[in-house]
Amino acid sequence: MPSASEARKVVDDGRLFPYERYESRVGELAERYQSTTPIPHVYLQNFLDEAVARAMRSEFPDHDDETWIQYKHINERKSGKHVRAELPDLIGKVVDELNSPEFVSLVSRITGIPGLLADPTIEGGGMHQATSGGYLNMHTDFTMHRAIPNWRRRCNLILYLNDGWDPAWGGCIDFWAPDMSRQVASYPPQLNCAVLFNTPGAPHGFPDPLRCPDNVARKSVQFYYYTADAPPDAAHHATHYMPVPKDGRVKRILIRIDNGMLAIYAWMKRRLGLSDETVSWVLGKLGGRKH
């Protein structure tokens, strides 16, 4: 296990991402990614230098920190933080690196999607975590950037920071076929593993409530990449949740109702300039935690 001094040396040297390790594998990774159906994706172990990943894990804020935005409704129970200025030092620097032109070029070559763009506002991305009982129902992602009308969302990168995660706790990211007829892949959220995948049209999530201890959280850092090739009046679809085949009638109805509410909220964000931070601030003034 790398020491704190070794981790700091890696950071001080500016080696936040091991490009040399990936350059020799671009062809192999691109073939694997682009040939995987029905959802092009690739699961990457040892994504960063181990010292960097462990240092990020050590500075990840506690889940009881009041600054987290709590996302709690029918389809999800987790928290997030995506304001760049509020990210811890190293995590913020890694976010900047994985939004840099050099890294985005690497992602473009692997995915085969030309003209990819990183989102400097990390809208909806950044740090995420879920505690015991947390979940994220299967869903396809929103299709357009909230604030930039012609930015179309193309792929996601999720980096996991869970040291010693027990498979018995659940929390794997599941991928299902677009028609929700079958599960096509499932990956554990282990430390320094990442998954890169095409979106939207890719149902994914961890719908079963987490069974981890109360003092443990499922932690990740998420990145969304776009292309500027859609007309300003292109159809915008909010995050759309869907049941898995085992879900009963009542849950299916609740998921459908929640989708309608979230579509209205997404419209208000686009048209009225609302943000999750604004709504959280209002709720906080009313005496509750951020939701």
Q: What is the pLDDT of residue 228?
A: 93
Residue found by looking up tokens 């990819």 in the block = 116
Residue 291 covered by a domain: no
What's the rounded Cα separation, in Å, for the pair 161 and 79? Answer: 15
What's the rounded Cα separation, in Å, for the pair 29 and 42? Answer: 7
Residue 73 covered by a domain: yes
Q: What is the pLDDT of residue 263?
A: 77
CB-based contact 238:263 (threshold 8 Å): yes
Residue 289 covered by a domain: no
Residue 168 covered by a domain: yes
Q: What is the pLDDT of residue 66?
A: 74
Residue 61 covered by a domain: yes
Residue 136 covered by a domain: yes
Q: What is the pLDDT along the chain (291 residues), one digit of tens a residue?
A: 555 565 566 666 667 999 999 999 999 999 999 999 999 999 999 999 999 999 999 999 987 777 788 888 899 999 999 889 999 999 999 999 999 999 999 999 999 999 999 998 898 899 999 999 999 999 999 888 878 888 999 999 999 999 999 999 999 999 999 999 999 999 999 999 999 999 878 999 999 999 999 999 999 999 999 999 877 666 677 889 999 999 999 999 999 998 888 877 666 766 666 555 555 544 444 444 444
Structural domain boundaries enclosing 205: 4-284
Residue 290 covered by a domain: no
Q: For the whole model, what pTM was predicted?
A: 0.89
Domain count, the chain: 1
CATH number of the domain encompassing residue 197? 2.60.120.620
